[in-house]
Structures are given as C-alpha cells and as structure tokens.
Amino acid sequence: MLAEERRMAIFKYIKAKNSAKTEELIRTFDVSGSTIRRDLETLAMKKLIIRTHKGAVLNSTNVETEFLMNYNQHREEKGEIAKKGLALINEGDFIGLSGGTTAYILANEIIKSPLHSLSILTNSINTASLFLESDKNFVLVLAGGTPIRGTYECIGDFTIKMINTYNLDKYFFGVNGLTLQDGISFNNIAEAEVSRAFIQRSSETYVIADHSKFNVRKPGRVCSLKKITGIITGNHLSDDTREMYAKSEIKII
C-alpha cells in the first residue's frame, strides 16, 4: 500500500470511529509506530484530524473537503480510467496532470507501473506530493500559484506563466462537465483558465472523466471537444451516449 493510500485508509478508520489510539492504528495497519505518527502528523497538517497525546480525533469541522468526498465516488470506474490512461503513456514522455481525484488515481497507476523516465508537470499539490513520496525518480515540476482550499490545485497568473514555459507530449485532465454543444467546463473559472493553458502547450490532450461528467454543463468553459485528442472513460457510459459522441466524431477511449 502506498503512503497516501494508507493515510486515506487511516483517515476513514478514524472518521468511522471518531477517534483512534496510536497503538490501535499500529495493530490495524501493521506498520511501525514512527510510520503511524508521521501519517497522523500529515493528516493533522491537512486539518482532517486533531492529534492527541495517545492518538487522534476527527476534526469535525474539516472532514468533508471536496477532494476526500470525491475520492471514493465512482472509485472502480476511476480505476478503469486510470489504467486506460496509463496505456497511453510512453517511456520518456513529458506529461501534464491536472488536479482532481481521477488524475490522482492515474498518478498512483504511474507510480506502480514499470515507467521510470517521465517528466511530469502538475498544478496539483496532492499529486505532486504523491510523486515526491514514491520511490520513483521522475522529473517533477509543480506549477505553483494560489492553491484552492479543498481541491489543493494551484490557479492564477503565476501558474499559467509556468505552464506556458513548457512543451508537453500529453495532458491528462479531469473535468466537472462536458457536452457536445458547450464542450469542456469547470465549476471554477480560474481552473478552466489553467486547463486551457495546459491544452495549448500539449501535443495530445485527454479528458479523464467518469460517466457522471457527461452531458453536464458548468460555468467555466475551457474549449470545444474538437480541440482535444480524446475522452478516456470507464465502462459505465450508456450506449446512447457513446453513439451520440461517435456521430460527432469525438474519440471515446
């Protein structure tokens, strides 16, 4: 189990019980005391728990962050999408990764894969941390800027300026909505601007979206579906939706 996966499991365990002792967590997760203490410190830094003398209690005011709520929604389908995305990445590629839980799960698949010589540009603090804590020695660039609470994604002029200094082979990005008429969209207009910059700097661009994002329209428009290489999704998309997108010559992977 990767460090971030274990921490997510520890958080869910504490959330279910409202509190847990350090010794209890050591037995449950079969890791050392020092490992558990580091995991608890990380969760406390994210304001998900509050450390106590003997363990931790749930931080009830901050448990429902957007990232954690979304992580387990359509989890199996997001795993399918991540594996399909991984198959498109070649040794030596310079890839871009967005924030969001589907991109985070793709990052996990990349770490577990035999790939070893990638360069990665992301505006996601969560995704960057995942790579930094892995045993892979990828070239990692964090397009920093102003982070968004809950999603841990950087936005703003500085983020876009950093993105514009690179030429990417492929960009994989999650979305909040996509329709044939209005294209790709986000809840946050600033996130849409960052995504647009990534698309402009990438030779190939792939939306990674579970079935719930199809035929959904959000305020922050990115671009039309004709501007991207393809949409990677799971096996939950209806036949009618697949046919509709195929007729419009939108590539569904």
Three-class DSSP labels, 161-207: HHHCCCCEEEEEECCCEEECCCEEEECCHHHHHHHHHHHHCEEEEEE
Look at the chain and report how many structural domains it folds into.
2
Q: State the pTM of this model.
A: 0.77
Residue 161 structural domain: 70-247
Q: Quick one: which of 90, 98, 105 has its CA closest to 228?
A: 98
Q: Are residues 36 and 160 in the same domain?
A: no
Q: Are residues 129 and 17 in the same domain?
A: no
Q: Are residues 193 and 233 in the same domain?
A: yes
pLDDT of residue 238: 87
pLDDT of residue 196: 97
pLDDT of residue 65: 55
Please tell me the distance from the alpha carbon of residue 32 to that of residue 134, in angstroms, as a whole number.
18
**Structure confidence at residue 75 as a pLDDT band (50, 70, 90):** confident
Sequence letter at residue 225: L
Please tell me the distance from the alpha carbon of residue 131 to that of residue 118, in angstroms, as a whole number.
11
Q: Is residue 252 part of a domain?
A: no
Q: Are residues 56 and 92 in the same domain?
A: no
**Structure confidence at residue 63 as a pLDDT band (50, 70, 90):** very low
Strands 55-58 and 49-51: antiparallel
Mean pLDDT of 225-230: 97
pLDDT digits (tens, 9 = 90+) for 110-153: 999 999 999 999 999 989 989 998 889 999 999 999 998 778 89
CATH code of the domain containing 234: 3.40.50.1360
Q: Quick one: which of 141, 35, 153 has its CA closest to 98?
A: 153
Q: Are residues 78 and 173 in the same domain?
A: yes
Dihedral, CA atoms, 198, 155, 233, 250, nearest 10 degrees? -50
Q: Is residue 237 part of a domain?
A: yes
Q: Are residues 56 and 77 in the same domain?
A: no
pLDDT digits (tens, 9 = 90+) for 186-224: 999 999 999 999 999 999 999 999 999 999 999 999 999
* 242, 217 Cβ separation under 8 angstroms: no
pLDDT of residue 48: 84
Share of residues in the chain with pLDDT > 70 (%): 95
Mean pLDDT of 66-87: 84
**Structure confidence at residue 53 as a pLDDT band (50, 70, 90):** confident
Q: Are residues 138 and 217 in the same domain?
A: yes
Q: Are residues 59 and 131 in the same domain?
A: no
Q: Is residue 93 part of a domain?
A: yes
Q: Are residues 194 and 114 in the same domain?
A: yes
Q: Say how many Å lie between the first and final Cα of the chain, rounded.
A: 28
Q: Is residue 131 part of a domain?
A: yes
Q: Are residues 35 and 74 in the same domain?
A: no
Query: What share of residues in the chain are helix, strand, coil (percent, to 5)?
Result: 45, 25, 35
Please tell me the distance from the alpha carbon of residue 58 to that of residue 46, in angstroms, as a whole number.
12
